[in-house]
Amino acid sequence: MRLEILQGDITTRDVDAIVNAANSSLMGGGGVDGAIHRAAGRELLAACMEVREHYPGGLPVGQAVHTPGFRLPARWVIHTVGPNRHAGQSDPELLASCFRESLRVAESLAAGSIAFPAISAGIYGWDAREVATVAFDAVRRFDADSPGALDLVEFVLFGAEMTDVFRSVFGVPEG
């Protein structure tokens, strides 16, 4: 499995699946979630409403579901709800579950490539270094348990500071 750390816009990535750091309603929001909904078009909201019927209380933290990518270059969007540290959700296992379950969904879709944002960093209050460490561990374990399931895992990060933190933790050279 190839691992890449990129600074940029996840909605432009030409991968099989992108991961949406969704809220539990799956109805769109701010940040990455809002950007993905805007880029994918109204069809994504309709698909999320259908998925939401199976989760009347909202998608639980740490779980993942998928929808088509619609107008995105990615074929699928994998939606996962990260833990909100400000709401007392500070267990790293909840965060790890987001990455692990997203990887499992990608595998079930026979996706060869996936792009992640920094789930729960930013407005949900998690430290970027902790997010990167949890993410790296989840990806490493997934690759050990399911070798060859994915050819490429990207972390597509909005700002230079977050990108530098992920590169530092992952030990990935710039570029």
- Binned at pLDDT 50, 70 and 90, residue 175 comes out as low
Task: Read off the pLDDT of residues 21-38 as tens digits, 9 standing for 90 and up.
Answer: 999 999 998 899 999 999
- b/e for 106-142, b at 16 or more Cβ within 10 A? beeeebebbbbbbbbbbebebebebbbbbbbebbeeb
Residue 122: per-residue pLDDT: 85
Q: Which two tokens stand for residue 103?
A: 């990887």
Task: Read off the pLDDT of residues 132-174 as tens digits, 9 standing for 90 and up.
Answer: 999 999 999 999 999 989 999 999 999 999 999 999 998 866 6
Q: Which domains does the chain have, with CATH numbers?
A: 2-170 (3.40.220.10)
> Using N-to-C axis directions, what is the helix angle for 31-40 and 42-52, rounded to 10°?
110
Could you tell me the pTM of the whole model? 0.96
% the chain with pLDDT above 90: 94
- Which residue numbers are catalytic? 33
